[in-house]
């Protein structure tokens, strides 16, 4: 497996959709290629950091949520009601 | 027969009942749907537009549009995925307006290979999140993701931040599954490359 072929399969590896014999080929390549091993590890860290941090960074304050929900409901009442 | 009915009932998503009640004019049911998904819609809009005020407007526009089009929702997909699709379209429309251009779409800049081929192979510090203060790290992450084309930002946000499945991401963005996989790979690699300069071990010593 070349590095280009490895990169093409990296999404399947991350998402757990890579199955044998591909999985063994991926693991073998990672054991032999330090560049690809670092790429995998740091890409996993990238995903982890964003998932961890961004969920909280863009949190809406409760008061703003209440205000927005009230505004949405008001607009809904003024617009056409849902029809079946 | 009773067992079959019971299994079928269990598979129905709780949103289906809320949507049905909302279609029938039950305001409390629609309000409940807003409560369940306003935070996620805000985060998605904020990521795509990179603007807080736009994201607040998009939350309101998305739910209003959903309410008006509720009769069109047939339940073939999850209500949340349907809602996300509206929010993504609204977000891209905002970007288009802000830039006064017709070019902002899911396809914008996605042909670029820049940053998609790994060049930085330095390992990161074992715990990169501890290197920076909360505010500083947040700034680095925002600056880094803001540099991605909107099409890549959308795929990464839905799949990796909001944890939608690849299939749900494809449905929400109106893309094929292979297109999502390809864009996701490039988005992840570009983010990794850009974050590397902040996170890597410098001269073999953690900061």
Q: Which residues in B lie closer than 8 A to residue A34 (C-beta atoms)?
A: 121
Supply the pLDDT for residue B102: 52
CA distance B125 to B36: 37
Supply the pLDDT for residue B164: 94
Q: Which residues in A lie closer than 8 A to residue B38 (C-beta atoms)?
A: 60, 65, 68-69
Choose the most confident range, by mean pLDDT, from B11-20, B27-36, B94-103, B198-207: B27-36
Q: What percent of chain B has pLDDT over 90?
A: 56
**Residue A5: is its pLDDT beyond 80?**
yes
Q: What is the mean pLDDT of residues A51-56?
A: 78
- A68: CB partners within 8 A, 6+ apart: A60, B38, B56, B59, B60
Supply the pLDDT for residue B96: 86
Identify which has the larger pLDDT, B147 or A55.
B147
Q: Please report, in angstroms and rounded to a whole number, the separation of the first and last CA atoms in chain B.
A: 65
Lowest mean pLDDT among A9-18, B123-132, B147-156: B123-132
Per-residue model confidence as pLDDT tens digits over B96-111: 888 765 555 555 545 5
Of the pLDDT bands very low, low, confident and very high (cuts 50, 70, 90), residue B1 is very low
Supply the pLDDT for residue A79: 83
Supply the pLDDT for residue B6: 44
Of the pLDDT bands very low, low, confident and very high (cuts 50, 70, 90), residue B4 is very low
Q: What is the mean pLDDT of residues B123-141?
A: 81
* ipTM of the shown complex: 0.86
pTM of the model: 0.84
Angle at B110 between CA B109 and CA B116, to 5 degrees: 110
Query: Could you tell me which of B144, B12, B28 has the C-alpha nearest to residue A76?
Result: B28
Q: What is the mean pLDDT of residues B192-202?
A: 84
Contact A42 B184 (CB under 8 A): no
* A28 interfacial to chain B (CB closer than 8 Å): no
* A35 interfacial to chain B (CB closer than 8 Å): yes
Supply the pLDDT for residue B10: 54
Q: Which residues in B lie closer than 8 A to residue A71 (C-beta atoms)?
A: 60
CA distance B107 to B41: 21
CA distance A49 to A72: 33
**Residue B192: is its pLDDT beyond 50?**
yes
Residue A81, judged by CB atoms within 10 A of its CB (0-12, 13-18, 19+), counts as middle
Identify which has the larger pLDDT, B32 or B75.
B32
Nearest to A58 among B27, B46, B70 (CB): B46
Per-residue model confidence as pLDDT tens digits over A19-38: 999 999 999 999 999 989 99
Q: What percent of chain A has pLDDT over 70?
A: 92
Nearest to B185 among A11, A46, A84 (CB): A11
CA distance B21 to B30: 8
């Amino acid at each position: 497996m070349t590095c280009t072929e490895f990169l093409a399969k990296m999404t399947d590896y991350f998402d757990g959709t890579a199955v044998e014999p591909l999985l063994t080929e991926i693991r073998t390549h990672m054991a032999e290629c330090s560049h690809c091993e670092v790429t995998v590890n740091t890409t996993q860290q990238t995903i982890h950091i964003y998932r961890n941090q961004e969920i909280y960074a863009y949190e809406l304050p409760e008061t703003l949520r209440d205000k927005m929900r009230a505004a949405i409901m008001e607009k809904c009442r003024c617009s056409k009601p849902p029809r079946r | 027969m009773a067992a079959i009915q019971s299994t079928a009932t269990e598979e129905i998503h709780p949103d289906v009942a809320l949507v049905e009640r909302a279609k029938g004019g039950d305001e409390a049911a629609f309000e409940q749907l807003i409560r369940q998904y306003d935070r996620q819609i805000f985060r998605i809009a904020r990521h795509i537009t990179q603007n807080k005020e736009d994201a607040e407007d998009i939350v309101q526009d998305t739910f209003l549009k959903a309410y008006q089009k509720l009769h069109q929702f047939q339940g073939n997909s999850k209500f949340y995925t349907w809602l996300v699709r509206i929010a993504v379209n609204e977000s891209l429309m905002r970007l288009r307006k802000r830039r006064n251009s017709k070019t902002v779409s899911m396809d914008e800049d996605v042909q670029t290979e820049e940053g998609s081929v790994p060049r930085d192979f330095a390992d990161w510090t074992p715990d990169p999140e501890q290197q920076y203060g909360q505010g500083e790290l947040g700034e680095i992450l925002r600056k880094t993701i803001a540099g991605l084309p909107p099409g890549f930002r959308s795929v990464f946000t839905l799949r990796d931040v909001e944890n939608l499945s690849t299939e749900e991401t494809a449905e929400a963005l109106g893309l094929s599954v292979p297109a999502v996989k390809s864009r996701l790979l490039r988005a992840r690699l570009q983010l990794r490359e850009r974050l590397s300069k902040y996170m890597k071990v410098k001269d073999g010593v953690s900061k």
